[in-house]
A and B are shown apart, each in its own frame.
Chain A
Amino acid sequence: QKEVEQDPGPLSVPEGAIVSLNCTYSNSAFQYFMWYRQYSRKGPELLMYTYSSGNKEDGRFTAQVDKSSKYISLFIRDSQPSDSATYLCAMSPANQAGTALIFGKGTTLSVSS
């Protein structure tokens, strides 16, 4: 079983739709959970960051972490064509300086106007 599993998509939705992106993981030591957004021909940029369990909201974006199920989600409300990108989940254990982030393979999202 891979450490982090992420459905690669592609996922196509109309403008205004609610988008749900998900990752599952196997390492119970993971404490930091991140979502990165990567536009074509660009580097990943941090979108959301959560430590341990719970929800975090930032504008149209909500990140959820369910450590009991080893499952994280990113919800995008009122999706826009500018949200079209690849979304990467990433995670790492706490307090382990030098430990690499473990990335999912990314989900490609296309929002049509």
Chain B
Amino acid sequence: EAQVTQNPRYLITVTGKKLTVTCSQNMNHEYMSWYRQDPGLGLRQIYYSMNVEVTDKGDVPEGYKVSRKEKRNFPLILESPSPNQTSLYFCASRPLAGGDIQYFGAGTRLSVL
């Protein structure tokens, strides 16, 4: 089954404790991205990657890092999480050709205390 898999689905942590949210896709998509979704603000892109070793900032990259060492994986790293990063996070992927139809993971709900 074609899918984007995120882990963990739920995470509660404390300020300053480094964490990684993993994302993996099995569709051989070149393009992967991370979004956060907040009430009243909608979905906002954090980072994206157009292929292995190619990453770039989205609209709200501050406080986040990403890496793309393999085509299928695109982890999101919070090196020193803060309470304003409490949010619902989605990973998405799509092929580079054929428009912008993105496939989303099920989401990771993060709470930073």
Residues of chain A whose beta carbon lies under 8 Å from any beta carbon of chain B = 32, 34, 36, 41-46, 49, 51, 88, 90, 92, 97-101, 103-106
Check A41 against B100 for contact (C-beta < 8 Å): no
Cβ contact of A101, chosen from B96, B102, B107, cutoff 8 A: B102
Q: Which 9 A-B pairs have the closest CB atoms?
A: A43-B104, A105-B42, A100-B45, A103-B43, A92-B100, A43-B106, A44-B104, A32-B100, A43-B107
Residues of chain B whose beta carbon lies under 8 Å from any beta carbon of chain A = 4, 31, 33, 40-43, 45, 48, 50, 56, 58-59, 90, 96, 99-107
Total CB contacts across the A-B interface at under 8 A: 52
Check A101 against B103 for contact (C-beta < 8 Å): no
Check B42 against A44 for contact (C-beta < 8 Å): no
Determine the chain B residues whose CB is within 8 A of the CB of A105 once the complex forms.
40-42
Check B99 against A97 for contact (C-beta < 8 Å): no
Q: By CB atoms of chain B within 10 A, which of A49, A100, A106 has the most?
A: A100
A33, chain B: closest CB distance, angstroms: 10
Determine the chain A residues whose CB is within 8 A of the CB of B103 once the complex forms.
46
Give 5 A-B contacts (CB < 8 Å), ordered by A residue.
Answer: A42-B107, A43-B4, A88-B42, A100-B58, A106-B42
Q: In the complex, what residue of chain A is closest to B42 when comparing beta carbons?
A: A105
In the bound assembly, the distance between CA atoms of A43 and B25 in angstroms comes to 14
A17, chain B: closest CB distance, angstroms: 26
Q: In the complex, what residue of chain B is closest to A6 when comparing beta carbons?
A: B42
Check A34 against B101 for contact (C-beta < 8 Å): yes
